Amino acid sequence: MSDKTIIVTGASDGIGAAAARALNSAGNRVVVVGRSPEKTRAVATELGVDYHLADFSELEQVRALADTLREKYPRIDVLANNAGGIMGEREVTADGFEKTLQINHLAPFLLTTLLLDRLAESDATVINTASIANVLFGKINIDDLNAEEKYSPNLAYGNAKLANILFTRELHNRYAAEGISAAAFHPGIVNTSFASGSTSPLRLLYQTIAGKLLLTPAKGADTLVWLASTRPGNGWTSGEYYSKRKPARKNPQANDDVLAGQLWERSLRMVDAD
């Protein structure tokens, strides 16, 4: 049994809901965060846990979520930044950012940075759900984070998932000494609805016979649950990227500490969190 307080975003279905179920059954105090009121409430009711709503396409909702979490939970042992998805045609949010970047990177970056003092006080672990797309499609241009010069659904998603790994690396570099651990992971190719609104060819994988061969959400959540249930030194190292509980191959850019630092500073300015 455990008594950690664990926040899981993107927990209304798929990997997030599966992770919430597993962590709750282990005796943790799980808090689910989602965009859909009905689906998020259903998961929370099933598990008998707290839930909070936030649409990551609006950064003001992320700020409000951070305020609520800070007020309600004096200790946060794990923050699992799991919310995300691949989009279709290029969209710009009300905040002025390309939607894939905002939902997958800027929103969890903002949530994490707004909670840094609470996370440090708690010796917390921050877990970021990345993807093999960082290798397949990612090629970050630090001067075109908003994908104004070059855009495709796959490139934007690959860059956002690469940003998750760089954020993990830089979070470790900056805050490990203050007690914060960080890890990113690839859940595998999981049978969820995350690509349902996308024009990416990836959506076809989920809509055809191949979809029946994909991992279940519970299997996809396994590495997240493992990272949330253990501490660095128990099979994993803070700042690194994992798949199937083992170090995973990543984009060469993911090892670039200069780029990681630049991304952090650019992200701070974009979300106005400094």
In Å, how far are 9, 167, 189, 255 from 162, measured between CA atoms? 19, 9, 17, 10
Contact by Cβ (8 Å): 125, 89: no
| Matching residue, tokens 């990612």 | 138
200 within domain boundaries: no
Reading the block at residue 214, the tokens are 């994909």
195 within domain boundaries: no
198 within domain boundaries: no
26 within domain boundaries: yes
pTM over 0.85: yes
Looking at the chain, how many residues does it have?
A: 274
Label residue 184 exposed, middle or buried (CB < 10 Å: 0-12, 13-18, 19+): buried
3-state secondary structure 55-103: CCCCHHHHHHHHHHHHHHCCCCCEEEECCCCCCCCCCECCCCCEHHHHH
Please tell me the total count of domains within the chain. 1
Residues involved in catalysis? 157
| CATH classification at residue 240 | 3.40.50.720
Per-residue pLDDT of the chain (274 residues; tens, 9 = 90+): 468 999 999 999 999 999 999 999 999 999 999 999 999 999 999 999 999 999 999 999 999 999 999 999 999 999 999 999 999 999 999 999 999 999 999 999 999 999 999 999 999 999 999 999 999 999 999 999 999 999 999 999 999 999 999 999 999 999 999 999 999 999 988 565 554 455 555 555 445 544 455 778 889 999 999 999 999 999 999 999 999 999 999 999 999 999 999 999 999 999 986 5
| Matching residue, tokens 């599966």 | 18
Range of the domain at 54: 5-188+221-271
123 within domain boundaries: yes
Report the DSSP beta bridge partners of residue 33. Answer: 52
